[in-house]
Every structure is written in structure tokens, then in C-alpha cells.
Structure 1
Amino acid sequence: MKLFRFGGPGQEKPGALDKDGIRRDLSSVIDDIAGAALSREAIARLAALDLSGFPVVPDSERLGACVGAVGNFIGVGLNYADHAVEAGLPIPTEPILFNKAPSCIGGPNDDIILPRGSTKTDWEVELALVIGEPASYVEEADVPEIIAGYCICNDVSERAFQNERGGQWMKGKGCPTFGPLGPWLVTPDEIADVQNLGLWLSVNGQEMQNGTTGTMIFGVYQLVSHISQFMILEPGDVITTGTPPGVGFGMKPPLYLKAGDVIELGVGGLGTQHQRVVQPIDHADDGG
């Protein structure tokens, strides 16, 4: 299935694509694509529905993040060998983990707002996964049983905040709008091989990234098992699994986002995203 959420920010409703790719409103049967609705049993019940009788969601409706009520938003750094090389950093011997603030999550086509003081905001197309079952110390072989689905993440990153301000990477990873997710949450049965998906990203029509999940250092199942050794994973938690080469800070000279830029990105079988980069709103100008 391809699940989605639609409506204004904070007011999203659940939906699914029917067999003809028509968007259908599921709000009469579930409250949200979140929590218990992500379990194997709950998704199986949705998959058994005849969606043809559900209301059509107009294409004009905004798409929200494809999962709601996210508790933990976990990132993985330097997880593609060729990306580590472009960053001039050694290939990790075990996964590098960091947090993205759940408050940074947005819809796949929402604007990306440059943070105040930003000089080095960058892009990262990534494969993300959503947890569907509680898990702790899960074995790698059992990981498929706890994944509700996969989606696209643009792991937007402010490099000066991330690398030049001391402390942990999260400073440059969790700014508002820095976590677009979607458009679809695609259930695992639709993905033939999660380690053979193409990823691409362009800025203003120029291709910047073009890679494959086949060059991950740590595969998806390995990552989930590893992370579960350090925390309890809960339904709705998101793990975004790293980016291939072609990010702005790896270019010579580096290239960063500016207001007016347009980003397009996609992952094979998971759809595409489209974002416009805008300046922050200065509330001092409007009395706010």
C-alpha cells in the first residue's frame, strides 16, 4: 500500500492510493497514519479494504508528512562509502547516529525555511523507514517484522551549525522544516529489494545527487538492529538512513541553498518531493 496524510499543518487526515493511483480518504476507518495504525495487523486490515468506495482526495489538497505523532527521528551519518570519501572522512566502523527534532518534520512539498543566521544550508536525499512495532534488542533477521514502511526524507542540514558550533550534529539537523517526509509511506511488500533503490536530487534543475542504496555501508536491517541495542523503538519512530554523494559541502567550491532555490528529489518506488527555499519570517517586522 501507499499511505499518505493530507490537509493543513497539524490537521492532517489519513489516506491511501487505490489500485488506480487515486487518492482516497481513510478518515472514516482510522484517525491517523500513526501509532497503533502502523502495526502489521492494522496495515493488513487497511490492505483488505475495497478503496473504491472511499471519498476521493482532490489533488489540490496539501500532502503532509506521511506519518504522524513521530516520537524519535533518528539520523545516520556517513552511511554511504562514496559520501564519506567526498566528505574527506574515514569510513565508519559502526553507524554514526544523531537526532533530528520531530518538530522539523514537514510535508514533502512544503517550503524549506532557512534558519536565522544560516550560511551553509545543504540538501541530502535519503531513504527513511518507519517503525511499526515496539522493538528492543531486535535481531537483524527479525527487522522486517517491525518495519511499517519506507519513505523519502530530505535530511536538510545547516553545515555551519552542524560542524562549527561545537557539540553534536543535531544543532544543524533539527531546524524547522528540515525533515520533509513522504509523499507516500510505502509498505514493505511493494519494495522488491530495499538495498537496490535509486536516489536522486536536483537543485534548480541541475542534478546534484544520483546514487543507490546498494552502496550503503550499513544496510537497513543492520541499522535497525543496531539502533535497537541502545533504545526502545516505538511505532511511528523514523530512521533516515544516510545520503549518497553530491551534497553541497562536498563540492569544490562548496555550494549551499539560498532563497528562491527549488529542490526536487526522489527514491525509486517511493515517489518524489518538491521544495522551495525561502527566507525566515522576521516577526519583528510585523509586531510579532
Structure 2
Amino acid sequence: MMTQQRFAIGTYEAGQGPFPGLVVDGTVYDISAFTAYRSTAELLVDWDAAFTALTRAAERPPVAGIPEGTLRTLPPVSPPGQIFAAGANYREHVVQMAVAHKLGREDATAAELAAEAGREIDERKSSGRVYVWTGVSSSISGAFDDILLPAEYDDHDWELELGVVIGRKARNVSVDRALDYVAGYTICNDLTTRSLVPRKDIPMMGTDWMRAKNFPTFFPTGPWLVPAAFVPNPLDLGIRLRLNGATMQESNTGDMIFGPAELISYISRFAELQPGDMVITGSPPGNGSHHGRFLQAGDVMECEIDGLGMQRTRCVAGP
């Protein structure tokens, strides 16, 4: 039996405007040159038929290809859809954040804070209490674009995450069926300005994710969208982030409290997921808050998830 040719899809720029690309072994083929799809967003609206057509094209490309390294890589879904983001969704990450930010009893030791966080996680998982917030698509940038750090703040943090891209409208779907609505998977680094998270002026309102996470370029995404058919188990992927060559995050997606299926099912109870929307699934341990080190101009981050490629982004001083 012949093995199916693996491929990814992305959005690229060669000087004449963006185009959707079929990526096979480091070569990009312009999808708009052999199909009616003019963008990856159009392709995702018709995902089942598009996947069949791209599977055939990957076996025998109908047009000449371009080396991927000669093109500018844009966010893989263009125009981008909505962002739904899981918060506090890796067990060890939640424990680390509870200790770093002293979330718990004022007189508790670090060990006691960690133990209390662990008990809260277990109870939240058993009761199905998912936490999701929303981001803005204008904050999405490409996998190799510079990240602009707003100069007014000095506590910009990294959060590498598995991105789940939707390929069919999803409303009130069950956990058992939820992965049927997934087109593919990508990488997203969900940046956060930590001092902007709490609303101390309105304490009863709690956290303010809008202002803390939605600066321009704060969701570098890609380089590709890898179809779900090539990711047999999204809960068994190595995930790692290096800062200036030093490993800061290294974990496995199996440490998620709620997996992609549970997140999609939960979100679809309250909102309609659309083709091209991205669900980011939480971050593993090893954020800057834990290490006591935040992003600075000149820093370079390399983000990898097994089978999904690598991002390389440089931090620059922003306005």
C-alpha cells in the first residue's frame, strides 16, 4: 500500500500579492494556479473537497514549485478567522503560575501553593470547568515576522501553544465528534503583557485579556497548517520554545487538562465556530514569569511542535 504524501498549506508572498501555497518537502506550489481557491480562507470554507484536491496535487504537482526559503511566509490562514484561547490548560503550567504569582493563601509556602493548585486542577477537570477567552485576528503575524514590544511595559511574556484550525461550522458539537470539525494544526505563540492582566482599578472584574494579549504581532502563527489527517494524535506532540538558544519551554501536549475535542465542544455551546477560526490550547510550563525573565528587544524565539515546523521570531522595540 502506497503511503500518502504528506503536505501542509500556507500563505506566501513573492512580490505580487499573497497566494495560498501547497507545501511539499520544502517546495511551495501556488494553489490558486490550479484551483479556484484564491486564499487559504476560501479553501477552508470548502475543506473536504479542497483536501481531496490537494491530496492529488501533492502526489503529482500540476505546476512548477518555488523553494519555500525564497518566499515571505505570512500567517497560514489568510484572511485570519476568530481566535478562541484556552487559559490555564496545562497542568504543570498552572502549578508554576500559582507559585510565581502567589495565587492562593497569603501565608502559603511555594510547596503548599503548588499542592493547592494541583487539587484545583483535578477538581476542574472532573467537573469540566473549561476556561476560554477570545483574541483579535489583527494581532496575528507570521512565523518569521518581528514581534513589536510596546515600550511602555517591560513584562512581555511568551506562551507557546498548539493551534487548532476549524474546517467546518461547529455549533453544539459533542466531544466525540469535535475533531471531525478540525481542518488542521499549527503553531501559535500567545504573547502576554503580564502587568496588564489584572484590573486593579476594577477588582471585581478580574482579568483583562483584551489589553494584555492583543497588541499587534502578539500572535505569531505558522509557518504552516498541517492537515489533521497527518496528525494522528494531537495529544502526543513534543512542544518546545528556545530563547536565544536556551530551552525555556519543553513539554508534551498530553499535559493538557482539556484536549482539543473538549475545547471545541465547549466553545461550540456558546459560539459558532467558523472555518478558519483558530483555537489555541494553552501553554506548557516555562513562561518568563516562572523563569523571572521577560522579553527584550533583540531576543530571538524559536518555537517548535513535532511535525508542525518551526517559528523564528525576533523581538524589536515597538511604539
TM exceeding 0.5: yes
2:12 is aligned, of 3, 6, 23, to 6
Partner residue, 1:74: 84
SS state of the match for residue 53, structure 1?
coil
Q: CA deviation at 1:164?
A: 5.3
Describe the SS at the equivalent of 1:52.
coil
Q: Quote the Cα distance in structure 1 between the aligned partners of 2:152 and 2:199.
A: 13
1:127 has 2:132 as partner: no
Matching residue within 163, 173, 179 for 2:213: 173
Secondary structure (helix, strand or coil) at the match of 1:224 reads helix
User: What is the Cα deviation at residue 22 of structure 1?
Assistant: 1.8
- Choose which of 32, 40, 45 in structure 1 pairs with 2:53: 45
Task: Report whether the alignment pairs 1:107 with 2:142.
Answer: yes
Q: Contact 2:172 / 2:268 at 8 angstroms: preserved in 1?
A: yes
Question: How many residues are treated as equivalent by the alignment?
Answer: 278
- Tell me if the contact between 2:90 and 2:257 (Cα under 8 Å) persists in the aligned partners: yes
Displacement of 1:64: 0.5
- 1:286 aligned partner: none
Q: Aligned AA for 2:81?
A: G
Deviations 1:185-213 (A, max 9, x none): 00011112111001000101110000001
* Residue ranges of structure 1 left out of the alignment (5+ in a row): 282-288
The answer for the alignment partner of 1:22 in structure 2 is 27
Separation in structure 2 between the aligned mates of residue 230 and residue 238 of structure 1, nearest angstrom = 16
- Supply the distance in 1 between the matched residues of 2:235 and 2:309 (Cα, whole angstroms): 17
Which of 54, 57, 72 in structure 1 is aligned with 2:63? 54
Higher mean C-alpha displacement, 116-125 vs 102-111:
116-125
Given the superposition, is the C-alpha separation of residues 44 and 269 from structure 1 closer, same or farther in structure 2, using an over 3 Å criterion? same
Identity %: 35
TM-score normalised to the size of structure 1?
A: 0.91
Confirm or deny: 8 A CA contact 2:199 2:208 kept in the other structure.
no
**Which letter does structure 2 place at the counterpart of 1:33?**
T
Shift of 1:163: 3.0
Q: Which is further off, 47-56 or 24-33?
A: 47-56
RMSD: 1.9
| Contact kept? 2:157, 2:289, Cα under 8 Å | yes
Matched letter for residue 25 of structure 1:
D
TM-score (norm 2): 0.83
Structure 2: 5+ residue stretches without partners: 1-6, 104-116
Paired with 1:25 and 1:8, the residues of 2 have a C-alpha distance of 11
Structure showing greater radius of gyration is 2
More helix per residue: 1 or 2? 2
Deviates more, 1:9-18 or 1:140-149: 9-18
Structure 1 residues 116 and 41: CA distance shift in structure 2, 3 A? same
